[in-house]
Amino acid sequence: MRTADARNHATTSAGYAALGLLAALLLALTTSPVFAHGVGEGDGRFMEQSSGAQLLPFVYLGAKHMATGYDHLLFLVGVIFFLYRMKDVTLYVTLFAIGHSTTLLFGVLSGTHVNPYLVDAIIGLSVVYKALDNLGAFRAWFGVQPDTRLAVLIFGFFHGFGLATKLQDFDLPADGLVANIVAFNVGVEIGQILALGAILIAMDFWRRSHAFARQAFAANVLLMAAGYLLFGYQLSGYFLAS
């Protein structure tokens, strides 16, 4: 009996720890220069000075960027929050990967530019959307349930353009550009898989808690607040830069 009580206490504590991490992330977004995350200056100089195909370094840079891409990770947390079967997780993550890979490669290789503030504002809204979806808001307010798979794919397109704008800040050499950008995208996928693995392990442990249902509501409210914060910050940047 004591063992069961200890297990329940541990899983409940894990749930509160998860809520604490979300709250800490929300606080960090308001105080940290990482709030306007991008490719680091040193990494940018390396990419500008690269000659020819530099596959492994670009794979590393892509994985590093995804690992620090809090907006992408927040969206992924929302996407997998109530997915319990691995085939469902795989489906949604694949749709997201197709979306952001398409526009990342297209944006950089075609030279198509979008306003980074506006696309990042939409990325913030993607976090808000998924939190509201998890809370059942659309069915309660409008009596309809949006096609979540289509929404994840469409928002994936915007996330990819967000990644592209970070690379377009630098004068990337044409020599080896295609191979390097493909390698960067592969790195993004590797970083996404690694981050997702850690998130799924934490979520699986948290879901064993009897308090998960109650804590899930608070977690998605925090997720929604973080999305609105990202949206407001980027929209402010757009108007101030105009």
Question: pLDDT tens-digit profile of 182-193?
Answer: 999 999 999 999
From 44, 39, 57, select the one nearest 180 (Cα to Cα): 57
> Which contacts of 177-181 are long-range, i.e. CB under 8 A and separated by 24 or more positions?
177/108, 177/109, 178/109, 179/53, 179/55, 180/47, 180/50, 180/53, 180/54, 180/55, 180/58, 181/58, 181/104, 181/105, 181/108, 181/109
Q: What is the pLDDT averaged over residues 208-227?
A: 90
Q: What is the pLDDT averaged over residues 37-42?
A: 68
CA distance 65 to 59: 10
From 118, 112, 119, 76, select the one nearest 95 (Cα to Cα): 76
Angle, in degrees to the nearest 10, between helices 148-167 and 86-110: 40
CB 62, CB 187: distance < 8 Å: yes
Q: Is pLDDT above 60 for 15? A: no
What is the pLDDT of the chain when averaged over all its residues? 86
Residue 30 has what pLDDT?
46
Q: Is pLDDT above 80 for 20? A: no
Residue 5 has what pLDDT?
52
Question: pLDDT tens-digit profile of 108-161?
Answer: 999 899 999 999 999 999 999 999 999 999 999 999 889 999 999 999 999 999
pTM for this model (two decimals): 0.85
User: In the 8-state DSSP scheme, what is residue 35?
Assistant: G
Q: Is pLDDT above 50 for 31? A: no
Query: What residue spans define the domains of the chain?
Result: 2-241
